[in-house]
Amino acid sequence: MKTFFTSDFHLGHARIIGYTNRPFNSLDEMDSTIINNFNNRVKEDDIVYYCGDFCFKYAPSESASAPKKAFEHYRSQLKCKNIIFINGNHDERNGNKSDIESMVINHGGKRLFLTHNPKFAKKEFYWNICGHTHGKYGKFIKLDTCSYIVDISVESWGYMPQDINQINSEFQKWLRETKLL
């Protein structure tokens, strides 16, 4: 069993392709690629911490064929049983019933703070795993002397969830390249 982190799928949100310069030609291509990437990487019994903005509420202006129960429609296509959803700013009306705004987990000997928006990051945590910025500032941001933000938005990670070892490997590389190690 592995633990994965991801955020900002924005399934059913056609305009996100242009807003974040996603490499997709259509909403259907984006949705199917992200869902397939997820299902190819994550196994049924793995755990996924999803840091917000899962899908877009039904909006005829986005897609005439958009499902009326967006959250259930997209969630049912993901094979993993254990997804813990943290609310993002686009999740309040999409059918996501999670009431989690942030959480702390202990993993690999570290306390990690998980939230959607990095403006809520906390300096007392080594890693603040967040979404929301869609890779705008890179995968990692130094928050304080011993505190970092990990941008887990799909744009930063090849449109697929990442496990803690993959994140740590990229983080160590980033520390070396930025001479922070």
What average pLDDT score do residues 12-31 get? 92
How does pLDDT run across 33-72, given as a tens digit for each residue? 999 999 999 999 999 999 988 987 755 555 556 666 778 8
Q: pTM for this structure?
A: 0.91
- Say what the pLDDT of residue 2 is: 92
Q: Which amino acid type is present at position 78?
A: L
CATH of the domain at 98: 3.60.21.10
- Say what the pLDDT of residue 59 is: 53
Q: Of 26 and 180, which is predicted with more confidence?
A: 26
- Say what the pLDDT of residue 109 is: 81
- Which two structure tokens, joined as six digits, stand for 131? 């979404």
Q: How many domains does the chain have?
A: 1
Backbone angles phi, psi at 157, to 5 degrees: -130, 35
How does pLDDT run across 66-108, given as a tens digit for each residue? 666 778 888 999 999 999 999 877 667 666 777 788 899 998 7
Range of the domain at 132: 3-177
Length of the chain: 181
How does pLDDT run across 123-159, given as a tens digit for each residue? 999 999 999 998 888 999 999 888 999 999 999 999 9
Within the chain, how many helices (H) and strands (E) appear? 4, 9
